[in-house]
Structure 1
């Protein structure tokens, strides 16, 4: 019996040694484990989806997501970022309420505009199939906006297990909806409805943590909301327009590519970008979320952030380089084998995107630093530069009627240059802020 107990004790000690010792690393691992499971599900069903849905369907989905992403990025007036900053939960819940009110207003306004100007928007987008789905834009924006404020509030309370479970639930529902609806009816319906339904289920999971705290909800007061709206006015003043411009920049390809080339090419590009973004969703977002919580805490306690900044940078470099090389070398073959011969084109596009991935994986993860320091002006300057340069770039692509391969080469060059500038701004801010700490 003694030997048996000793053996069990030894096993427990070995398991404990394998567990991350710091709370920071444990939180990253918790979110990463949830995101890994969540992303494993769509990866697993992707070979089926590419045989149920056509590149044209994915092109229409890309257009729908581009529209909703743009408006969802400003759905809460960017006040969701301020939820992390106050010391008191009472202030945080009132900021949450402020974001919710703004979300309701923007979603209602979108509904009115879609009902009145549906035909005009359809002609502007140049795709008749999107006409029906424009009516689903307001509800999608509302659901995504609600998820953003719920996610940040749960991050503030360090409910990382609940965030993990919500992410997994969202992925499961998405898979079930897209597969079942795809078998029932051909076309893009299953892809779009699956996204809407899955986001709704994730919200229900995260909302429970707030709804069960009735005492905190009762502290929501209109006067308090107005005071906090003024206190954190820099978020809508500087970050709203800048983030809108950033999101618009990221979605421009899905508006321009169908016009310069066609909606099918847009579908190939979208699917390639979707697959390339999986490592970021698996790893980078989790690191960024916990990194934000850690540096926000350091700022409150007047602790320097350069050591943890460099530590995260080193980890991101070690992760992004081998992944980028692997994608560049093997993506065409992998896409053809897993998704079918038709999708080798997406694999070839992925080779170009792999170069962009190396830089965006690192810089996007670290960019939350500017929010934590409330250096929104610097963030806005870069985002405006990013938008302006992208508009000029895509205008030239449209005007010169470039071949698709030439377009991809210049697209990579443009993205790399802009993200190198972004990294320099972030590093400079951390360095200057650390210098100010005595």
Structure 2
């Protein structure tokens, strides 16, 4: 069914290469996580989930979004200097972050509901964010050079080195820090591999110019001014529920929810990567030509709906036993949590891959407004600290169902409005 939607072009081949790398990397991560959940204490995984969530939020602002501008300049020298601009921005951001952690460590730990002996985790954050954001800048340079195979190899090598490092540190009895050290190792391998590939793809430090970087920072200032806030809100919506669970409950509950979230989010992540970019390209062409795309959209939604129903049935019928089999009996409760929030995850699976239709329809402001409202709704979870964990998850479910249900309705409304407009033009 999807094949009829996919263009036979270099674009699809390039996207397929990225998707294969993404799938392989995620498969490696999932398989290794099942092993590591048995090797590390549940509390350690809870603290690690907090570490990953904070990294995920701050990552989107570290390089001031200049990484996205790397693909735009006509001159290679400007692209090179934008790479340096992004790296220097991230370095400066993380120096400030390190100082904030040093002066406010106690307050941060208290807000996150972490014990004082978990304070070490905070000091790894600037390094992890810098390493990850630096590779993101490198990655956009490789995208500019259409080095898609190299990007896929990097995704796989990162997951292998990260997981391998975490297993090694567990065997070396470094349980307290092993998960974070393994994560850092994955980032280091990523940067080394990415740096080598950049040099092979025309990157040259001879183009380095501080004056040019300052000029380019001003030229592409719309990225930090207009793109950074929506990206930050999206990241907060994604990671805030887990941070609040740790704040309201304990690291063990966080670890259980973290596994639930990782498993349920995976299908939507894969389908968003594999469908959204291809669908965007296909529908953008039809919008430019004033052609109908509603049949394409309907077929995709039906397919995604079938997958969502299958996922929901699997979770409702067997989730607790499957989670216990996968990660150990301690994670049986993760399957119980999955049963509660699976409807929201299933709806995301349907809506997320088609949510970029706002771009060809020139309705980015509508999507930004929805993102702001969703952020306010998610922020409402701050008021629910008195609830039992399962009741809290039902509240989270209701928010997700309302928000993504509304987003689906908006997408369908705008799509049919477009169809109506082109039909009127034909008549």
Could you tell me how far apart the structure 1 residues matched to 2:134 and 2:275 are? Answer: 22
Query: 2:121 pairs with 91, 110, 133, which one?
Result: 133
- Which deviates further from its counterpart, 78-87 or 40-49? 78-87
Could you tell me how far apart the structure 2 residues matched to 1:267 and 1:195 are? Answer: 17
2:327 pairs with 1:339: yes
Match of 1:184 in 2: 172
What is the TM-score normalised by the length of structure 2? Answer: 0.84
Once the two structures are superposed, the pairs formed by residues 109-148 of structure 1 within 5 Å of their partners are: 109-128=96-115, 129-148=117-136
Residue 50 and residue 171 in structure 1: after superposition, are their counterparts in 2 closer, same or farther (change >3 A)? Answer: same
Q: Is the 8 A contact 2:241 2:378 kept in 1?
A: no
2:421 pairs with 1:404: no
Q: Which runs of 5+ in 2 are unaligned?
A: 1-5
Query: 1:256 pairs with 234, 240, 244, which one?
Result: 244
Could you tell me how far apart the structure 1 residues matched to 2:34 and 2:371 are? Answer: 36
Match of 1:421 in 2: 406
Match of 2:33 in 1: 46
Match of 2:3 in 1: none
Match of 1:164 in 2: 152
- CA deviations over 1:296-316 (Å, ceiling 9, x no partner): 9959x9566974972655554
Query: 1:81 pairs with 53, 64, 68, which one?
Result: 68
What is the TM-score normalised by the length of structure 1? Answer: 0.82
Root-mean-square deviation (Å): 3.4
Residue 346 and residue 147 in structure 1: after superposition, are their counterparts in 2 closer, same or farther (change >3 A)? Answer: same
Query: 2:49 pairs with 40, 62, 75, which one?
Result: 62
Q: Is the 8 A contact 2:111 2:247 kept in 1?
A: no
Could you tell me how far apart the structure 1 residues matched to 2:283 and 2:208 are? Answer: 24
Match of 1:11 in 2: none
2:272 pairs with 1:284: yes
Could you tell me how far apart the structure 2 residues matched to 1:427 and 1:226 are? Answer: 43
Could you tell me how far apart the structure 2 residues matched to 1:297 and 1:248 are? Answer: 29
- Deviation, 1:217, is 5.4
- Deviation, 1:177, is 0.8
- Deviation, 1:124, is 2.9
- Which deviates further from its counterpart, 406-415 or 145-154? 145-154
Residue 397 and residue 348 in structure 1: after superposition, are their counterparts in 2 closer, same or farther (change >3 A)? Answer: same
Match of 1:272 in 2: 260
- Deviation, 1:252, is 1.9
Could you tell me how far apart the structure 1 residues matched to 2:83 and 2:363 are? Answer: 21
Could you tell me how far apart the structure 1 residues matched to 2:221 and 2:327 are? Answer: 47
2:169 pairs with 1:212: no
Residue 99 and residue 148 in structure 1: after superposition, are their counterparts in 2 closer, same or farther (change >3 A)? Answer: same
- CA deviations over 1:163-198 (Å, ceiling 9, x no partner): 111111011112211111112225341111111211
Q: Residue 277 of structure 1: SS of its match in structure 2? A: helix
- Deviation, 1:385, is 1.5
Q: Is the 8 A contact 1:173 1:197 kept in 2?
A: yes
Match of 1:4 in 2: none
Residue 377 and residue 152 in structure 1: after superposition, are their counterparts in 2 closer, same or farther (change >3 A)? Answer: farther
Residue 44 and residue 215 in structure 1: after superposition, are their counterparts in 2 closer, same or farther (change >3 A)? Answer: closer
- Which deviates further from its counterpart, 113-122 or 424-433? 424-433
Query: 1:96 pairs with 70, 79, 83, which one?
Result: 83
2:178 pairs with 1:193: no
